[in-house]
Amino acid sequence: MARVPIKSRITTVSTQLPLVPLPNLNMTLSILPVVVIMLWLATFDSVYGQTYFRMPYNTDKWPAITKRLSELDYQIKTGRSPTYEVNYAIKMFDPATADYNYDSLYRVESDPEWKRRMEVVLPKMAAIALRLPQLLPNPGVRVLRRGENGVIRLNQVQVLSLLANSFFCTFPAKEEGFPRNKFCTLFEGAGGSEASKAEKLKAFLHYFERMLERFPPGSKGTGTLITYERRSLSPGEVPNWTNSGKTLTSVWVEEYGHIEDEKGFQHLQADFANKMLGGGILGNGATQEEIRFAVNPELLITSLLFEQLDNNEAAIVTGVEQFSTTSGYASNLRFTGDFRDTTPLDAEGRRDTSVFAFDALKFEDGKEYEQFWEWQVDRELKKAYAAFSKKGRTEDWKPIATGNWGSGVFNGDQELKFLIQWMAASQSERNMKYFTVGRPGLKDAIVQLLNRFKQAAPPVTVGRLYQAIALYRRKVVDKHNQNNISIFKFIQNDSEAKALLRLP
């Protein structure tokens, strides 16, 4: 993130700025004030640049942004194309976007009904975007960097204004290591991606419609609270998997349904994330994470405020509302309409919906066997445990709703990934509901394994299952035989594995 210009710093200083101690200088009185001020500004510049997201109203482009977005309503009412006006406005204050073609947004506008809806909602979006200085005054909102544990609390209207600014691409250039934060890349159509991009845009526009009906620009409402948490495990918090005595918890398996259907107090919901949170939501992506961000747009704030996740980190977002429904996947994704989220509020005033984002490793074609290596298994366990663990919240007993994490193009072994998530959930003392959608036969294989494990005496522990995976690695993977015997079959039939797990 670029640093705040000195002019902006001096004119926008408020009592909310981070406290920076003044140095104890033994100097003559005549030069002391000047030196102190210079040192304070230098220190503040460093603190601000590292700690806070740079707001567009702290840039020299804000007057141009204000002018163009204020004119949007008039220009659209004169009969101009809504997409053309968005494109023209953005190019005026961000010339770097001049080469974007906006074909995906034009595709949405080509439907007369959506054109009418855009003519109504876009001026309201511009108005709420321009309220950002009032809704989030300096110093604005913190960023959560790699290695940092922290929670950001925002209300729905603050999130609405941030996302409207993201839509109009008003934010300064993103810092390296942070996800995309501008919609320009979603507006552009290229390589046949216009269809799925247009469907994501419909979901976002519908979100803006709903929120701006509920909270028109200038209203005093704030909406409900949303918390954005970054979890980073210290070395001392990573379990000793080999010696873990935690008993495996209960698992329910569903062949149909969706993770996001497990709302309310029932489950924590998995987001199979990219280490750059949001993945391709503002690009060509239309898989599990991107679809979840489209129907729950308030998740997109993580793309603004979270530096990429490290191997020991996860993100947990609580309080997001679902606004839309979709069907299909990837190029077949379709926006299907409105969704009314009736999830009750928790004790903190948040919707009782928690989404945890954790990214899996990707394995090259032909090298899928590498995922059974010890350090790879340990990495995935650590990642899942960062997402599932209670982090001192002993009252947090919610089970996990998850599924085929790291499969598909990531080439994750479905059976191994199930075991890893089960172990991490068990270490966290959480039960798990597992969705096998799109994986024929996987439900039956898991149910067979669960029934077999119920026969173990004493019950199977996390530590013994971890040792069984290591045994499979030595006896099967290291001998390049994993294509002939899966890990499920091995641990149920190999005599050494059965003895280790106490299976009859």
Q: Tell me: is residue 329 an annotated ligand-binding position.
A: yes
Alpha carbon distance 186, 200 (integer Å): 8
What pLDDT does 194 receive? 85
Which of 271, 321, 359, 413 is flagged as catalytic? 271
What pLDDT does 33 receive? 52
Alpha carbon distance 182, 192 (integer Å): 21
What pLDDT does 36 receive? 47
Tens of pLDDT, residue by residue over 301-346, are 999 999 999 999 999 999 999 999 999 988 899 999 999 999 999 9
Tens of pLDDT, residue by residue over 392-414, are 665 578 899 999 999 888 999 99
- Residue 482 DSSP label: T
Tens of pLDDT, residue by residue over 353-369, are 999 999 999 999 999 99
Note if 290 is an active site residue. yes
HSE toward the beta carbon, residue 195, CA cutoff 13 A: 9
Q: Tell me: is residue 256 an annotated ligand-binding position.
A: no
* Residues sharing a CB contact under 8 Å with residue 110, sequence separation 6 or more, in sequence order: none
Look at residue 28 and tell me whether its pLDDT is greater than 50: no
Length of the chain: 504
Q: Which of 54, 60, 55, 56 is nearest to 1 (CA)?
A: 54
Alpha carbon distance 205, 98 (integer Å): 23
* Residues sharing a CB contact under 8 Å with residue 193, sequence separation 6 or more, in sequence order: 104, 284
Q: Edge-to-edge, what's the strand order for the sheet holding 225-232?
A: 150-155, 225-232, 313-318, 354-359, 268-273, 400-402, 432-435, 251-254
What pLDDT does 442 receive? 96
DSSP SS3 for 151: strand
Q: What is the average per-residue pLDDT within 91-99?
A: 86
Adjacent-strand bridge partners of 25: none
Alpha carbon distance 438, 477 (integer Å): 26
What pLDDT does 19 receive? 36
Q: What is the average per-residue pLDDT within 118-147?
A: 96
pLDDT category of residue 262 using cuts at 50, 70 and 90: low
* Contact assessment for residue 401 and residue 435, using Cβ atoms and an 8 Å cutoff: yes
Q: What is the average per-residue pLDDT within 144-171?
A: 97
Q: What is the average per-residue pLDDT within 235-248?
A: 98
Alpha carbon distance 386, 97 (integer Å): 38
What pLDDT does 49 receive? 52
Tens of pLDDT, residue by residue over 56-70, are 999 999 999 999 999
Average pLDDT along the chain: 89
pLDDT category of residue 260 using cuts at 50, 70 and 90: confident
Q: What is the average per-residue pLDDT within 78-86?
A: 95
Q: What is the average per-residue pLDDT within 82-99?
A: 91
Q: Which of 472, 275, 289 is nearest to 383 (CA)?
A: 275
Phi, psi of 13 (to 5 degrees): -60, 135
The proportion of the chain whose per-residue pLDDT surpasses 90, expressed as a percent, equals: 76
Instruction: Tell me the two tokens of residue 328.
Output: 């299909």
Tens of pLDDT, residue by residue over 430-481, are 999 999 988 889 999 999 999 999 999 999 999 999 999 999 999 999 998 8
Q: Tell me: is residue 134 an annotated ligand-binding position.
A: no
Q: Which of 225, 216, 212 is nearest to 321 (CA)?
A: 225
Which of 289, 298, 413, 415 is flagged as catalytic? 289
Alpha carbon distance 365, 404 (integer Å): 18
The proportion of the chain whose per-residue pLDDT surpasses 70, expressed as a percent, equals: 88
Which of 290, 321, 359, 380 is flagged as catalytic? 290
> Could you tell me how far CA 365 lies from the centroid of its own chain?
27
Alpha carbon distance 162, 12 (integer Å): 19
* Contact assessment for residue 437 and residue 403, using Cβ atoms and an 8 Å cutoff: yes
Higher pLDDT, 298 or 91: 298
Q: Which of 260, 162, 244, 240 is nearest to 207 (CA)?
A: 162
Asked which of 11-15, 104-108, 126-130 is least confident by mean pLDDT, the reply is 11-15
What class is the 224-448 domain?
alpha beta
Note if 289 is an active site residue. yes
Tracing tokens 């280790």 back to the chain, one arrives at: 500
Residue type, 104: S
* Contact assessment for residue 275 and residue 360, using Cβ atoms and an 8 Å cutoff: no
Q: What stretches of 197-312 adopt beta strand conformation (E)?
A: 225-232, 251-254, 268-273
pLDDT category of residue 1 using cuts at 50, 70 and 90: very low
CB-neighbour burial class of residue 97 (10 A; exposed 0-12, middle 13-18, buried 19+): middle
- Per-domain boundaries in the chain: 6-51, 52-139+157-220, 224-448
What pLDDT does 44 receive? 40
What pLDDT does 456 receive? 97
Q: What is the pTM of this model?
A: 0.88
Alpha carbon distance 369, 381 (integer Å): 17
* Contact assessment for residue 314 and residue 268, using Cβ atoms and an 8 Å cutoff: no
Alpha carbon distance 79, 483 (integer Å): 63
